[in-house]
Structures are given as structure tokens and as C-alpha cells.
Amino acid sequence: MSARVLPAHEPAAIEEAAAVLRRGGLVAFPTETVYGLGADAFDPRAVARVFEVKARPSFDPLIVHLADAADLSRVSPALDPRVSALAAQFWPGPLTLVLPRRPEVPDLVTSGLDTVGVRVPAHPAARALIQAAGTPVAAPSANPFGYVSPTTAAHVAELLGPAVDLVLDGGPCRVGVESTILSLAGQTPVILRPGGVPREALEEALGVALEVAGRPARPLAPGQLEKHYATRTPLRILPGPAGRAPEGRVGLLAWRTAGPEGYAAAEVLAPDGSPETAAANLFAALRRLDTAGLDLILAEPCDEAGLGHAIMDRLRRAEAPPTAGPARRARRR
């Protein structure tokens, strides 16, 4: 059996999806970053199903999605003046803010933390859905835990199948990498995960240089887990442009041109050389290589400026050796 997929631009589909959310069901929906697997954030039973379907460990909190920044007070007291400034500039858009939570937000959503991750997605179908549901929507990326995030409705349907009540198809995701997560929970703002809003833009808005959190022993974001966003095929990042193909069935994730011949499969991320194009293509290209029966994927590196930061972050986490932990269990599914 496969998932039910409806076109996201049809008002009747949005209404039906909103009704599914209101009665505690799960809806996969497009955002500008990646597809999300949504549940009513105030319904702990629905949220529990999200964890189950993704095989996601419960120490890993979910991002709460709002239709509008004006709804922020439903999940966070947010007295911080930096919040309104950032919201005005970057919402709707690929920025998640980690803020003090309201006690009404279920513990399962925040993994018992005293903070909540919040964002207003830019995709019109996402906002229409949340608006119509009349409730904030908790949504992780719509993939099994640890695997590459889906950027099309077809990926979602393949990865999660009938475990999802409804999939809204809004076409391929425009940004292609997940939101940047910025924590405003402590004195100093910290980037917990590089993503769709470049660090440089946040630094300019806040007027401070930003730290990017390292890999703590107990991760606050699985974005912080060393092995994450991973293909099942081993992946190695090359030191520079690709050379001749090594022995075996080796695939190439190339930056601007297809590179030398001899690779069993090749994907070009950015024929125009722009990191925005590369980010939009990244996860779909990784999935195609991952399903091509390869022994190894070699990836060309890119400049770590703007979205290049998020791209290299995802590639490094895909490259990291498996750790004994939930990510590894999910990879065996």
C-alpha cells in the first residue's frame, strides 16, 4: 500500500489535510527547505506517532511550525527584542529560533527541554495548512531518522509510505537544505545547525559574530549528531576537484561539471556554480546516487560561504563513520 498524495495547490486538499491534523493524524507537507511530517503540536498522541513513524529517539525535540509570527505567543513568551527583529527579517523563511517555551507545549515536542524550536515556513501550502488546522504544527523532516531528508513528495511516499495519513505534493523544495537553527536561549546566540539562512545574514542582523555549536556529548539537535543526513552507501569528501575514477562501482557528486569519465554514476550539483542551486539539488542527487547500487560515493567540496556552509555540514555528517546510537539503528531499517 502506498501513501495518499494530493496536490498542495488545491484548496480542497489543504482543507482535507487540516482536518486530518485536527483529528490527530499525520500529514507530510512541503516547506521551502524539505518536506515535513506534521502533527498537531498540542496533541501528544499525534506527536508520539511522529516519533514512531520516523523511528526517532525521544531525546530529539521537534520544530513547531506557525502560520504567522504573530502566533509565537502560543508556544513561547518570547520577551527577547532580538526575536521580533529576526522574525521581521527572516520569517516566513528557513530560520528556526530556539526560545524559552510555554508550559502548555507538550514535553514530547521539546524532549523535556525548557526551550522550543519555532519557525514560520515560507511555502504557501505549509502556511495555508497550518492556518486551516488552527494549531501550531510540530514537524520533523519526513524521513526515517538519520537518513537524507526528502525534497519531493515522491521521496516522502517512498520513505514513509502508508504510515503517513496524507502527503501534500507541492513540487520540489526551493531551498533544499533544512532551516538554520539559532538558539537564543542563553546569553550568547549560537547556531545549532547551519541551514537555509546563511550565517553571514544572521551576523549582520544581530551585529555580532556567531558561534556554530560543536558536537557535544549529548546533542541538543541531531543536526549535532556526528552521523546524520546520511546515505546508506559510504560517502567520502574529496580534497578538491575529482580526478580519475578509482576501481569499483564509484559515484561522483560533482560541483559544477560532470568531471572525468569512468564513474559509474555522476550528479552535478550546480551547473551555474551557485550554492543556492547546489543546496536545492543536494538531497535528491544524494538519493539518486544512493539507489544506484554503488560501493562508494565521492563528493567534491565547495566553498564554505553562504549556503556552502550548510552543504559542507551535511556532507561531513553523511561521511562520518556510524556511531553506536539511534542513527545507526535507523540506517539498518
Residues near ligand TXA (CB under 6 A) are 31, 33-34, 36, 60-63, 94, 96, 98, 110, 113, 115-117, 121, 139-141, 178-179, 181, 192-193, 220-223
Q: According to the binding rule CB under 5 A, does residue 141 interact with Mg ion?
A: yes
CB nearer ligand TXA, residue 94 or residue 251? 94
- Residue 29 to residue 31: CA distance in whole angstroms: 7
Q: Residue 223 binds which entry of ligand TXA, Mg ion, none, with Cβ cut-offs from 5 to 8 Å by kind?
A: ligand TXA
Q: According to the binding rule CB under 5 A, does residue 180 interact with Mg ion?
A: no
Q: Residue 92 binds which entry of Mg ion, ligand TXA, none, with Cβ cut-offs from 5 to 8 Å by kind?
A: none
Candidates 76, 67, 91, 70; CA nearest to 205 is 91
- The half-sphere exposure of 241 on its side-chain side, counting CA atoms within 13 A, is 5
Q: Residue 152 binds which entry of Mg ion, ligand TXA, none, with Cβ cut-offs from 5 to 8 Å by kind?
A: none
* Smallest distance from ligand TXA to CB 155, Å: 13
* Smallest distance from ligand TXA to CB 76, Å: 10
- Residue 49 to residue 240: CA distance in whole angstroms: 43
Whole-angstrom CA distances from 14 to 47, 118, 185, 286 are 20, 22, 34, 30
Q: Residue 290 binds which entry of Mg ion, ligand TXA, none, with Cβ cut-offs from 5 to 8 Å by kind?
A: none
Give me the torsion for CA of 305, 189, 175, 19, rounded to 10°.
Answer: 170
* Smallest distance from ligand TXA to CB 142, Å: 7
Size of the site for Mg ion (CB under 5 A): 1
Candidates 332, 331, 333; CA nearest to 148 is 331
- Residue 206 to residue 255: CA distance in whole angstroms: 32
CB nearer ligand TXA, residue 230 or residue 298? 230
- Residue 89 to residue 172: CA distance in whole angstroms: 24
Q: How far is CA 318 from the centre of its chain?
A: 14
Q: According to the binding rule CB under 5 A, does residue 151 interact with Mg ion?
A: no
Q: Residue 33 binds which entry of ligand TXA, Mg ion, none, with Cβ cut-offs from 5 to 8 Å by kind?
A: ligand TXA
Question: Under the rule (CB under 5 A), what is the footprint of Mg ion?
Answer: 141
